[in-house]
A and B are shown apart, each in its own frame.
Chain A
Amino acid sequence: EAGVTQFPSHSVIEKGQTVTLRCDPISGHDNLYWYRRVMGKEIKFLLHFVKESKQDESGMPNNRFLAERTGGTYSTLKVQPAELEDSGVYFCASSLAAGRNEQFFGPGTRLTVL
């Protein structure tokens, strides 16, 4: 069974540009999550999808971030326009159900904004 995959693994962009990160969850997992680790700090929750619906986007930093999950399969996280403080590692995770169920994480996308 394939795990959670993320693309790209690394992205280097300039301030003001747009970047789109992609996450493919484990097949059959309705729940998909985005997290971010900035500058060696803790990993913080960004948002949660159940199928194609956003259940909670309370962790999204601001309106420069837009997450979508069309069709309830893969998800994209767009940052537009990117700022220096957006640099970090963006993790995606998926689970069969929410609550105390284990979340399976992808390898992350390292974003560097210059």
Chain B
Amino acid sequence: GDSVTQMEGPVTLSEEAFLTINCTYTATGYPSLFWYVQYPGEGLQLLLKATKADDKGSNKGFEATYRKETTSFHLEKGSVQVSDSAVYFCALTSGTYKYIFGTGTRLKVLA
């Protein structure tokens, strides 16, 4: 079945450091890919998405490119801030209503 694998955390970075959170997937067909973020005490929020190969999703300085050849959707940000501290979830949907999530990666950014 479909699945998402993302790097285990926690990831601890200093402010202004470069961030990469790896995400790879297994899916039949052509899934849509998402990154969701959960800030402390809040719900899951859509951070960015990509619906077809080579699409780049971007939001709030975060980017991820849908790479069909490597079945990946890695999340990157050039300069993280303390306010980016949160749990990040990679997810996919293969045209159905079910989201398949990864295990989540906790990011802690130190001032």
Contact = CB atoms under 8 A, between A and B. Distances in A.
B16 to A, nearest CB: 28
B103 interface: yes
A43 B97 contact: no
Interface string A52-81: 000110010000000000000000000000
Contacts of A4: 43
B103 A100 contact: no
Nearest to B43: A107
Name the interface size band of chain B: 20 to 34
Given A100-B93, A100-B95, A107 B101 contact: no
Contacts of B49: 102
B87 to A, nearest CB: 9
A103 interface: yes
Contacts of B81: none
A106 interface: yes
A77 to B, nearest CB: 16
Nearest to A4: B43
A98 B43 contact: no
Interface string B67-111: 000000000000000000000010101011111111110000000
Nearest to A9: B41
A33 B97 contact: yes
A68 B43 CA distance: 22
B43 A100 contact: no
Interface of B: 4, 32, 36, 41-46, 49, 51, 89, 91, 93, 95-104
